[in-house]
Amino acid sequence: MVQRPRPQRLGHVVLNVRDLKASVRFYTEIVGLEVSDHIEDQMAFLRCGNDHHDLALAQIAPGDPQHAATYVPGRPGLEHFAYQLGSLAEIEDAARYLQAQGIDIVRGIGKHGPGENLFLVFKDPDGNYCEFYAEMVQITPAQPYTPRVWKNDLAAFDQWHFDRFVVPPPEWGPRRAQDTKGEDSDDPKR
C-alpha cells in the first residue's frame, strides 16, 4: 500500500497577471524579490530565498475573457501553489497515492526548464491546482545564478517531453511534433 505524501514545506505560488512587466516591477521594486528567469513575455520567476523561485507570474492573454477581471475575496486568484517533496521517488509515490484516492491529476510527472524542478499538479476539492515538486535549483552566494530568458517551448515546460506524465499531456501546453501532425504547431493554445 502506498503511503500518503509527507510534504516538507510550502514552496512557491504561481499567479496569473494582466500585465507581466508591471507585476515584475511591483514584486522587484516594491516587495524586494529578485528575478531568476523569464519564459519570453509569458512568465517570470522571482525569489526571496535560495529556491530558484518562490513566486512565478504568468501573463493572461489580452483577449482572454478573464483579462479584465480583478481578484475579489471568495474567488480563486492563483494558478497553483506547491509543496516540496524530497525526491523523484516521493513524487512517483505521491502520484500512485493520488490515483488510488481518485484525485484528479492535472499534469506531470515532469521536469520544468526554469528552476529545473520536478512537478506533479493535481486538484483539491474546490478545483484549485496544488503541486508537489522536488529538486529545485538552489541559488546561494556559493552557487550564483545568471537569469536567462527561456523560449516558450516544450523544454521550458517539460524537459522530459511528457515521457513521465501519468495523465495525457495538456491541450494548452507545448506539444511534441508527432502529436501535432496536420496541425499548426505554432498555435499558442497548444
For 145, phi and psi rounded to 5 degrees? -140, 135
Answer whether residue 155 shows pLDDT above 80.
yes
Query: In whole angstroms, what is the distance from residue 84 CA to residue 94 CA?
Result: 12
Sheet with 78-84, edge to edge strand ranges: 105-111, 118-123, 129-134, 78-84, 9-17, 55-59, 43-47, 34-39, 148-150
* pLDDT value, residue 75: 45
Answer whether residue 119 shows pLDDT above 80.
yes
SS3 string, 113-144, reads CCCCCEEEEEECCCCCEEEEEECCCECCCCCC
Name the pLDDT band for 180 (thresholds 50, 70, 90).
very low
Looking at per-residue confidence, does 63 or 69 come out higher?
63
**Residue 106: how many other CB atoms lie within 10 Å:** 16
Place of cell 512557491: 12
* pLDDT value, residue 72: 56
Query: In whole angstroms, what is the distance from residue 58 CA to residue 67 CA?
Result: 12
Answer whether residue 165 shows pLDDT above 80.
yes
* pLDDT value, residue 6: 95
* pLDDT value, residue 176: 42
Contact 45, 149 (CB under 8 A): no
Between the CA of residue 35 and those of 16, 40, 42, what are the distances in Å? 17, 13, 14
Q: What is the pLDDT of residues 67-118, one digit of tens each?
A: 777 665 544 467 899 999 999 999 999 999 999 999 999 999 999 999 999 9
Query: How many Cα atoms are found within 13 Å in the side-chain-facing hemisphere of 48?
Result: 13
Name the pLDDT band for 172 (thresholds 50, 70, 90).
low
Give this prediction's pTM.
0.78
Mean pLDDT score across all residues of the chain = 85
**Of the given ranges (10-19, 87-96, 101-110, 168-177), which has the lowest mean pLDDT?**
168-177
Name the pLDDT band for 60 (thresholds 50, 70, 90).
confident
Residues 6+ apart with CB under 8 A from 106: 121, 122, 123, 129, 167, 170
**pLDDT exceeding 90 applies to what percent of the chain?**
68
